[in-house]
Structure 1
């Protein structure tokens, strides 16, 4: 019997244990745990069927984690759990590549149902993300936000800069040179119509992309 491979990312050991037990008890899933996006990439010798990101850890920006994983695991379906029941946040995650967003009040059944559906749709996920991206860009009730137009790598750098990280720190996290980060920063500032990091941070707070 085929078991879907889930990459589970969350900073809390107890939370990871609980979700792993929930998934593996069905015999439909095998789970690889990671505390961070960097740790997830270290286990990426086998591409999973599903990314499951629990964003209940208040010390981490879930959108930053999502962007890191969307860059490294392109085209994979992604399930977000553990966040607040908030339509604005749900829209942000959906726009950046999340297929399903379940709040912290979601039931075990809802998590399992979503995980099973998304794991089974792995091979169709690329087209799903593309159509979903077009919908969120073109919907009349959704305002245009310039950070959506950034490339996958630029989004990574954007979220790290808006969390207050320095260029050398970003370079170490992404395993690229500081000069490359500076180039990405210049491109981001131009595309975002901002003059400096302070304006990027102000934009992020204004649109609730970072927590207060």
Structure 2
């Protein structure tokens, strides 16, 4: 059962998301709120697997909420669900540890698929956002000489992460156990000095590691 916590200030959308997710097999909405000002205590109370986070909310926006989450928890998966598809919001969300970035026009069935994917270690993005991200990072100046001493196996895992593969999919593709995948990813994070998949993908593009 994937436990989902929702932050969305539009009451109709919040109720619609709750009904959709809670009414689908394998998902449970533990709580939903119209702002994230108390996100630290709510995170500790509900212990969700996945957080659906709007960006434009009163009192504290979703990017600030994301920063608060990452100060105390690196494991919980955070999916930004927003109307904003501009570069600055996308970049800020990924830089601060978002695990995925979806637009609110995402079809319901696809949204459930994305939540399941991110819970399994994937990094789902609406296709138009993914295109932006690829373009954005390809234009950043890279440190091409710094290879971070990644092994060929680690580079292969990193490439699959960039391709949006979940841990389970990487294990299947490389014919290795999921624990082995986790071990490789832990070493990649240590070598790249990052704390999340989105940061690793960003650095892979920026420094042309793949």
Taking structure 1 as the reference length, what is the TM-score of the superposition? 0.54
Counterpart in the other structure of 1:133:
199
For residues 72 and 34 of structure 2, the distance between their equivalents in structure 1, rounded to whole angstroms, comes to 16
Give the secondary-structure state (helix, strand or coil) at the position aligned to 1:37. coil
Alpha-carbon shift at residue 131 of structure 1 (Å): 4.5
List aligned pairs for 1:156-175, cutoff 5 A.
Answer: none
2:20 to 14, 19, 22: 22
Q: How many residues align?
A: 140
Please tell me whether the aligned partners of residues 37 and 69 of structure 1 are also in contact (alpha carbons under 8 angstroms).
no
Please tell me whether the aligned partners of residues 54 and 81 of structure 2 are also in contact (alpha carbons under 8 angstroms).
yes
For residues 19 and 30 of structure 1, the distance between their equivalents in structure 2, rounded to whole angstroms, comes to 11
Distance 1:91-1:116 versus aligned 2 partners, 3 A rule? same
Counterpart in the other structure of 2:4:
6
Distance 1:71-1:47 versus aligned 2 partners, 3 A rule? same
Distance 1:108-1:84 versus aligned 2 partners, 3 A rule? same
Give the secondary-structure state (helix, strand or coil) at the position aligned to 1:94. helix
Alpha-carbon shift at residue 100 of structure 1 (Å): 1.0
> Which runs of 5 or more structure 1 residues have no equivalent in the other structure?
143-212
Counterpart in the other structure of 1:47:
47
Give the secondary-structure state (helix, strand or coil) at the position aligned to 2:196. helix
Taking structure 2 as the reference length, what is the TM-score of the superposition? 0.55
For residues 141 and 109 of structure 1, the distance between their equivalents in structure 2, rounded to whole angstroms, comes to 35
> Which runs of 5 or more structure 2 residues have no equivalent in the other structure?
123-166, 168-181, 190-194
Distance 1:37-1:57 versus aligned 2 partners, 3 A rule? closer
Give the secondary-structure state (helix, strand or coil) at the position aligned to 1:33. strand
Alpha-carbon shift at residue 138 of structure 1 (Å): 5.6
Alpha-carbon shift at residue 114 of structure 1 (Å): 0.8
